[in-house]
Amino acid sequence: MKKEIIKEIENGHLLKKYGSWMYCDGCNQTVGYLCYTTYSYFNLKYKCKCGNEGCFKLWNKNNLETKINGDNLIKIKNRLCCPSDKSPLFSIVENRLERYEYQVICQECNTEYKSSH
């Protein structure tokens, strides 16, 4: 069964339909990379160094009940990954952003992770 993804994107755009490179619409620079099939919910709010503020919010319409996890995502080859199954979720180009916060739910283990920087 194919998942139905809903998107709400403000002041940014994706290279592909549900993932790939994320761009700031203010300066057209890359702000991150979203993996295609490993999330059931993804929300990134950011302020780019160009002054633009944006948001990428994508979620699976058939999302199930989630577990909140106190652990942090782990970094593997510049990708933030689920510590439970090591699945890559997304990456952030931190040197292009003044600040950002994210909330992501791993598709595989259904665990939610949040952080702000």
Residue 49 has pLDDT above 90, yes or no: yes
Every domain of the chain and the residues it spans: 5-116
Answer positive or negative: Cα dihedral of 48, 81, 62, 3: positive
Backbone angles phi, psi at 70, to 5 degrees: -80, -15
Residue 99 has pLDDT above 60, yes or no: yes
Could you tell me the pLDDT band of residue 1, with boundaries at 50, 70 and 90? Answer: very low
pLDDT computed for residue 3 by the predictor: 64
Reference 106, options 75, 79, 83, 76; nearest CA is 83
Could you tell me the pLDDT band of residue 110, with boundaries at 50, 70 and 90? Answer: confident
pTM: 0.90
